[in-house]
A and B are shown apart, each in its own frame.
Chain A
Amino acid sequence: MRSIIEYLREIVLGIWSLLKGMKVTSTYFFSPGKIVTQKYPENRKSLVMLERFKGEVVMPHNEKNEHKCTGCGICEINCPNGTIEIISKVIITEDGKKKKAIDKHIYRLGMCTFCALCVKTCPSNALAFSQKFEHAVFNRALLNKILNKPGSQLMKGVE
């Protein structure tokens, strides 16, 4: 007799525990205000990433097409996996001196692990992270980017 009572009790308690779980899920079912899902591709226009988000490395240029990169190569040394390659050239300044300047700042997004060491160690704050997060392309070669814009020059006052 006792075993039958015990058996029935287990069944009732088991069903009760399932109902308690169902109560939580049904609460969410009937209160759609609590649902946190974002409809991603539809909300693309209003979607703003947080300011520190590490999207990709960019080199900010001002309106005169000037950047701060002196071509010192510290970012290239600090990069752990060869993402950054700097090709420098020698230019002759207005007062006739020879000076090293940047020709191409190559950034390979496909190899980048977003450790932020390049941005952090740059002595002239020439690099920054953008908030872009949709990086997918159809051709792998498009991931190799040249950060300095064509025809850009070093900003005045940056050594």
Chain B
Amino acid sequence: MDIQVKELIADEKQEYIINMGPQHPSTHGVLRLVVSLQGEIVKNIEPHIGYIHRGIEKMCESITYPQIIHLTDRMDYLSAHINNEAVCLTVEKALEVDITDRIKVIRTIMSELTRIQSHQLFWASYGMDLGGQTCFFYGLRDREKILDIFEETCGGRMLVSYNCPGGLMYDIHPNFQQRVKDFIKYFRKALPEYDTILTGNVIFRERSIGIGPLTLKDAVSYGVTGPSGRASGFSCDVRKHEPYSAYDRVNFNEVIYNEGDTYHRYLARIEEMRESMNIIEQLIDNIPEGSYAIKMKPIIKLPEGEYFQRVETARGELDVFIISDGNKNPFRLKFRSPNFVNLGVLNHISKGFKIADLVAIAGSLDFVIPDIDR
């Protein structure tokens, strides 16, 4: 509907329409929220997306499978490694390639490091959204250590491009194990600081407890996955329910809370960092010997058919669906990205709250806009 027409209708209802975004700092990118307000109370939110739509799904149809990896990096750039893993697992499933245990374990460690750095950035930016500038510096300080580990092994810091169909691009760097162990030791001490600075802070608690509650029923029917869904009691961890890579050989808890408010969505992410560290500690000392990449044909062609793989990124469930017609390019490639689905629930949970709470609610869902637009 045209914005002028909308304003006329809003005038009748005594509502006031404002644009939040596309350049608003707390939308973490170019997301535009058209918010109808009555006084300070949010009545309706209409997300407008597509400001950085690049047509990744369509682009994938014209490039080969190894080339798709560099595009999935740029979808959810904070869990780039996990996105790449999803495509690689689908291709390997289609070709029925048996990858070695070494690849599986390294991929799992890398995925968990990616999850930790993503949640660190969440913590950093969420603190800043709610007025705590210190969090941003401390979060990025610790994230830098993981990025250095990535840089040493993969060559890239954020957009790692480390997976390739059939294994990994390079073997791990000789320093990798020692650096990861040092990081875990360091971060076990640093994580309580996070709790002291933000979790216990009275201003933060007042602004987040009880804000934007999402019930289990709504979480299931809107399909909210990831830490946001698990904070509402929705047991949706793909790592637990459909283990891929090396997740079937590690012990970890699925972090579940039943309250479903902003505060518990935040807590779920903090607890997930602890669980990720547990997973890494179980695997880092016994990385099996073996080849780091299976020899693939120079031109990878998938047999005709449909292939599907689910993975758990830092923000929820990413599904990759490939239809192949036997060529070197996919006939159709569909991503079910977690952020796009999580955005759908924003209107539902922020109705009736203040406009200032909208920043807290949107921040707690942890959007990455390139993943919404693709």
Residue positions of A touching B, CB distance < 8 A:
13-15, 17-18, 20-21, 23-25, 36, 50, 52-54, 78, 80, 113-117, 120-121, 129
Q: Which residue of A lies closest to B200 (CB)?
A: A17
Given contacts A78-B66, A115-B67, A116-B161, contact A17 B155 (CB under 8 A): no
Given contacts A21-B196, A114-B159, A115-B70, contact A36 B141 (CB under 8 A): yes
Contact call B201/A113, Cβ cutoff below 8 A: no
Alpha-carbon distance A53/B154, docked complex (angstroms):
8
Instruction: Tell me whether A24 and B155 are in contact (CB under 8 A).
Output: no
Q: Shortest distance in angstroms between A49's beta carbon and chain B's nearest beta carbon?
A: 8
Number of interface residues of B (CB under 8 A): 34
Which residues of B from 186 to 215 have beta carbons under 8 Å from A? Answer: 193, 196-198, 200-203, 205
Give the shortest distance, in Å, between B16 (CB) and chain A (any CB). Answer: 33
Q: Which chain B residues have a beta carbon within 8 Å of chain A's beta carbons? A: 63, 66-67, 69-71, 73-74, 134, 141, 144, 148, 151-156, 159, 161, 164, 169-170, 173, 193, 196-198, 200-203, 205, 298
- A80 near B67: Cβ-Cβ < 8 Å: yes
Whether the Cβ atoms of A52 and B63 lie closer than 8 Å is no
Query: Which residues of the other chain, A, contact B159 by a CB distance below 8 angstroms?
Result: 113-114
Which residue of the partner chain A has the closest CB to B74? A113
Measured between beta carbons, the chain A residues less than 8 angstroms from B154 are: 52
**Docked pose: A114 CA to B73 CA in angstroms:** 11
State the majority secondary structure of interface residues on A: helix
CA distance A80 to B141 in the complex (A): 34
The 7 closest A-B pairs by CB, nearest first: A14-B202, A115-B70, A80-B67, A52-B155, A54-B155, A21-B197, A17-B202
Q: Which residues of A contact B198 (CB under 8 A)?
A: 21
Task: Using known A-B contacts A24-B196, A116-B161, determine if residue A53 contacts B169 with beta carbons closer than 8 Å.
Answer: no
Given contacts A17-B201, A20-B200, contact A78 B67 (CB under 8 A): yes
- Residues on A with C-beta less than 8 A from B155 are 52-54, 114, 116, 129
Q: B161 contacts which chain A residues (CB < 8 A)?
A: 114-116
Contacts of A129 in B (CB 8 A): 155
Q: Are B134 and A52 in contact (CB under 8 A)?
A: no
A125 to B229, CA, bound (A): 47
